[in-house]
Structure 1
Amino acid sequence: MTNVPGATRALAILQALGKAGSPMPAAAIAKKLGLPRSSTYHLLAAMEKDGFVIHFPEDQRWGLGVSAFELGSAYLRHDPLERLARPLLARLVRETEKKIPAVAQLGILQNNDVLYLAKEVPHHPVTIVTEVGVRLPAHLTASGKAILCQLDAKQVRAMYGGNVALPTRTGKGPVSVKELNVDLQNAKQKGFSFENGFVTEGFSSIAVAVLNHLQMPVAAIGMTFRNDSGADVHQGFLVKQLQAAATELSKRLGSH
């Protein structure tokens, strides 16, 4: 790693942090890449300014930042992710519609919004606002929260900034970053996210994150259904089917 341009060194640091799966001390990064410690600290400081890395001062460690996450998921906003996901969405709808008619969707995080890339509908269509190409505030959607709960709390704070008031659509849902973090902690603990009437009155959604080969959340698979469709009885079934579909898509993206 000696006598190489700074850009190459910066990319090597990002790759090392991504493969590590958890924050690393600067000294460990320098040793792993064969870089001088002083150069490593200078690069990390410069990358932190642009949001590519985050410093955890209490632990004296460095991790991937929001900019790295956005850059990593940008590639998957287009055809590859959709092509891999579509047959899984179709199978998900077929396997669940006998018990509960629900729309299956694929969404990605774009800034503070969820952008919906693909959807499959049951034979008896369910009319929803989350059409392909629609963007909605991530903190209100099950798909958005499924992705956000896989990020570090500092990354979430960096995205939403301090104690800003979060908008609602129906008067329901988190109205502050503090409330959002509570939702995200619950979602991460359960292994899925849920919203009831946050986007549209009378409708609920469940979603599970999709991870790439670096174990970073690049998308979410969700299902939306009417509250009067008996979903409360079959929620466990829906969650299990969603988790299976998300796991399969994650494997196709190289996740372990």
Structure 2
Amino acid sequence: MSQVPAATRALRVLRYLASQPDPVPLDAIVRACDLPRSTAYHLVNAMIGEGFVVHLAEERRYGLGVAAFEVGSGYARQEPLQRIARRPLAALVDATGHSAHLAVLHGRDVLYVLEERAPGRPPLVTDVGVRLPAHLTASGRAVLASLPPAQVRALYPDRTAFVDRTGRGPASLSALRILLTETRQRGYATEDGEVTPGFASVAAPVLDHNGYPVAGIAITHPSELDLPDLPTAVLATAARLTGRLHGR
């Protein structure tokens, strides 16, 4: 860790805080970001000085500051990820004949930021602006499987973190860990009937230059269809987006 630049450590702290539904104690930051306690303390204090972190002294917790909101607002206005993804997502839909979407992790949910609907296909719940539990969706699982285990553990501290929609899907951290291990071994994520009965999805993560999952890209199709080529198509599109985020 001593060889990691301070800026990289600070960005990891910001990413972690942004993934939490509420402010967190310093010990949670230490565990999730794999930092020495003294380093985490000095980092968050420097970030407090710049407005990116706020310290809630009465609660002994840390959360995102106004400066982080300003950065997020600027990103939302520019929509760079959606702009980069729009054409590859449309090409994926043309090649497969099924609807595709792009989602980003927001706390324990995924937020759908882009959808390309295939002609003649029914509307899905994954419309732009919709949030769904990450552990139930293929897009969310693709992202979670690419996160450090400590961050997944921080997101799902106990069984109350596991929301149910259709009576299917992991209901504990141990069950989620098994599912994410299978996802990593397979190379892509799946779900079948856990979001909407009768529909299944295949997804892959889009990674930044540090290998951090910034989004998940997925195809949704009727469960009864056997589509063995879908994972290859989704993985190729995710790799294309990953390359574009790297500037290639």
TM-score, length-scaled by structure 2: 0.72
Out of 98, 101, 105, the residue aligned to residue 109 of structure 1 is 105
Q: Which residue of 1 aligns with 2:235?
A: 243
Matched with 2:83 is 83
Counterpart in 2 of 1:177? 173
Q: Is the 8 A contact 1:10 1:43 kept in 2?
A: no
Using a 3 Å threshold, how does the CA distance of structure 1 residues 187 and 16 change in structure 2: closer, same or farther? closer
Q: Distance in 1 between matches of 2:100 and 2:108?
A: 21
Please report how far the alpha carbon of residue 163 of structure 1 lies from its aligned counterpart in structure 2 after TM superposition.
4.4
RMSD of Structure 2 on Structure 1 (CA) = 2.9
SS at match of 1:198: coil
Q: Which amino acid aligns with 1:251?
A: G
| Unmatched tracts of structure 2, length 5 or more | 14-35, 48-63
Change (3 A) 1:165 1:216: closer
In 2, distance between residues paired with 1:143 and 1:253?
A: 18
Identity rate, percent: 38
Q: Runs of at least 4 residues of structure 1 off by over 2 A?
A: 9-17, 40-50, 73-78, 162-165
Q: What is aligned with 2:94? A: 94
The residue that corresponds to 1:227 in the other structure is 223
- Cα distance between partner residues in 2 of 1:200 and 1:239: 20
Q: CA deviation at 1:13?
A: 4.0
Over 3 Å counting, the alpha-carbon distance change for 1:153 and 1:255 in structure 2 is farther
Aligned residues: 199
> How far apart, in 1, do the equivalents of 2:115 and 2:125 lie?
12
**Closer, same or farther in 2 for the Cα pair 1:14/1:118, shift >3 Å?**
same
Q: Which runs of 5+ in 1 are unaligned?
A: 1-8, 18-39, 51-66
Q: TM-score, normalised by structure 1?
A: 0.70
Q: Secondary structure at the match of 2:91?
A: helix
Q: Does 1:154 align with 2:150?
A: yes
Q: 1:255 to 1:184 in 2, by over 3 A?
A: farther
CA contact (8 A) 1:139 1:180 kept: yes
Alpha-carbon contact 2:117-2:123 (below 8 Å) kept? no
How many Å separate the matches in 2 of 1:159 and 1:48? 20
Paired residue type of 2:153: R
Which secondary structure does the structure 1 equivalent of 2:135 belong to?
Answer: helix
One-letter identity of the residue aligned with 2:179: D
The answer to whether the 8 Å contact 2:99/2:116 transfers is yes
